[in-house]
Amino acid sequence: MCGIVGAVGFISPKEYVFKGLKMLDYRGYDSAGIAYIDNGIKIYKDVGSVEHLLTIVPETINSNIMIGHTRWATHGAPTKLNTHPHLSFHKRICMVHNGVIENYKELKSFLKEKGYSFYGETDTEVVANLIDYYYLENGNILETIKRVMGLLKGSYALSIFTDDDDQTLYVAKKASPLVIGLGKGFNLVASDASPMIEYTNEFIELDDFEFGAVTKDKVVIYNKDGEEVKKEAIQKDVELISHDLKGYPHYMIKEIEEIPQTVKRLISFYFQKNKFLFDPELIKDLKESDHIIFIACGTSYHAGLVGGRYFEKYDKSASRFIASEWAFHPTYPGKKPFIIMISQSGETADLIHCLNIIKEHNLKNLIITNTGGSTLDRNCMYSLLLHSGVEVSVASTKAYVAQVTLLALLAAALDKDTKVIDDLTQALDVVYDIQYHYKPLIMKVADELKDKKNIFYLGRSFDYFLSLEASLKLKEISYIHSEAIPGGELKHGPIALIEKGIPVIVFITDPVTASSMRGNIEEVKTRGAKVYTIATKSLSRPEDTIMVEDYAYYLSSVAVSSIAFYLAYYVALAKGLNVDKPRNLAKSVTVE
């Protein structure tokens, strides 16, 4: 949600800012804008795409400094006036913002009393004016930013310049990501490292309550007391943050096809020479805890449902919570709970809210994330990275499989149970099989489903958890209403919805529940449903739609999730939808 880019120095700021905005568009946005100084502050912004923005800006821009922004509307409708960058009342402060200022109404009233008026409805415009107000009072911009940060409640990553200085970008951060890229004779700013990799592989990540000044050859960062902090520059792996489509038409299909290499890479990070390579302290803390609490949102929550089972297999009791539920009614079963949070982006606001509570209660915690340097990575007690490479498509695929794989490895590590490696290898053979042999068949099914209004997924146990994920993926990119139902729950209500022609997709890969699932198939067939069954060979029947080789059934989410992902992809494609950027959704959900 909301992407920030900024540049100061001799490289063409326009080239970087526009490339950067494109790179960040995976985060989701509805409007975009840029600002720079060339005989005064110039701002170009509008509702719509970055491509559209490019058509309204001057071809040649002579400026040493530029900021850009993609906005995902929170406060105020997506209109041209509400689009960032924002300019203060006295036209001195120009800035972009990612985050939400919770007390903006009080601050706005204060400023109105001081004679300020506003052209839009955003919280960002209020911050720009607050800086304007104190800057006029004291004439020291860094002092002003420090003071304003002390007044703001909520989250923010800010990139700012003033009308009287085209050599300095100012930055500030709390609970929204901001990274500085270090160049030779120029410096860059962005919401994450990906837009900057073409120009540098050295980065400084701001921590909460830090602010600073960035010029073309210097970066100075201060803490909330205004003391200078020495920040270590870190190097990032270009390969892992590259946004190259590598010849694929969409990121989603590219990322589905990267699942095998993702799983293999993950195994090599956490298991070598017949040994698990997790931090021994983490394993000790997990073993000593008497209850594991999984907290996550969306797809990551679905991975947590699976992970809970993995830990139960090794005699750990576990509960699973949706972050936005737990945050308002936190419970901590057990005397020594250990919290495992899961987040592809590492920036999900609902989870950051949970982390604050977890820290207040001094609870041991771990984040499983794909994003090194993210807020959760830096602030959790332990962090395990997924090493999946950047996931651009809004619909998470390879990161979900990586989350499940990592949870399987971690749980097995508690008991040094190395069989998990053979099981994962066998599951990967199934993934390859699906990639090489089943796509035409899945496309055919997608064509039959594309005009349907409702679709049901059925499964039990691990197949139910997979059904939840399959259903979420379908609805988010194809806009078809879909529900996942545990087979046994059908007759407790949902069966009332089954009517002639309704598609029901059934997973049967668990030997314990297979015969009950066959019973469920009969129940829906008798009521006219069109059933598509995905089964493992030893549990299959000739009439099934897809039969895959047998695998250790607890790995359904690794072995056959790609069937669900391809299906969602091909349905969305058949409907002519924007597969990688579904409406209303953002890759990184940085507001609650």
Residues with catalytic roles: 2, 587
Grouping H, G, I as helix, E, B as strand and the rest as coil, residue 444 is helix
- What is the footprint of ligand F6R within residues 309-328 (CB under 6 A)? none
Nearer to ligand F6R, 421 or 585 (CB): 585
Shortest distance (Å) from residue 403 CB to ligand F6R: 8
Contacts of 103 (CB under 8 A, 6+ apart): 151, 152, 153, 154
Using CB under 6 A as the binding rule, whether residue 476 contacts ligand F6R is answered as yes
The CA-CA-CA angle for residues 584, 588, 592, to 5°, reads 75
Of 112-120, 297-305, 449-457, 536-544, the segment contacting ligand F6R by CB under 6 A is 297-305
Taking the complex as a whole, the smallest distance from the CB of residue 352 to ligand F6R amounts, in Å, to 10
Contacts for 491-498: CB closer than 8 Å, 24+ residues apart: 491/523, 494/456, 495/523, 495/524, 495/527, 497/454, 497/456, 498/456, 498/523, 498/524, 498/527, 498/528, 498/529
Least CB distance to ligand F6R at residue 393 (A):
8
Q: Bridge partners of 483?
A: 456
| Binding characters for ligand F6R, 338-367, by CB under 6 A (x = yes) | -----xxx--x--x----------------
Shorter beta-carbon distance to ligand F6R: residue 186 or 465: 465
Whether the Cβ atoms of residue 45 and residue 53 lie closer than 8 Å to each other: yes
Rule CB under 6 A: is residue 471 a binding residue for ligand F6R?
no
Query: 71 vs 30, 52, 120, 203, CA distance in Å?
Result: 6, 14, 14, 24
Q: Is 589 in the site for ligand F6R (CB under 6 A)?
A: yes
185-204 residues near ligand F6R, rule: CB under 6 A: none
Among 83, 159, 396, 467, binds ligand F6R (CB under 6 A): 396
Query: Can you tell me which residue has the tokens 């489509």?
Result: 245
Residue 300 within binding range of ligand F6R, rule CB under 6 A: yes
Q: Which is nearer to ligand F6R, 68 or 307 (CB)?
A: 307
Nearer to ligand F6R, 162 or 300 (CB): 300
Q: Is 297 in the site for ligand F6R (CB under 6 A)?
A: yes
CB 258 within 8 A of CB 398: yes
Tell the smallest beta-carbon distance from residue 281 to ligand F6R (Å): 25
Q: Where are the beta strands (DSSP E) in 461-523?
A: 481-486, 503-508
Please count the residues of this chain forming the interface with ligand F6R, following the rule CB under 6 A. 14
Beta strands in 261-363 (DSSP E): 271-272, 275-276, 291-296, 318-322, 337-343
- Which of 88, 300 has the CB closer to ligand F6R? 300
CA-to-CA dists, residue 405 to 372, 420, 554, angstroms: 18, 9, 11
Token pair for 454:
């409702």
**Closest chain position to ligand F6R (CB):** 298
Chain contacts with ligand F6R (rule: CB under 6 A): 297-300, 343-345, 348, 351, 395-396, 472, 476, 589
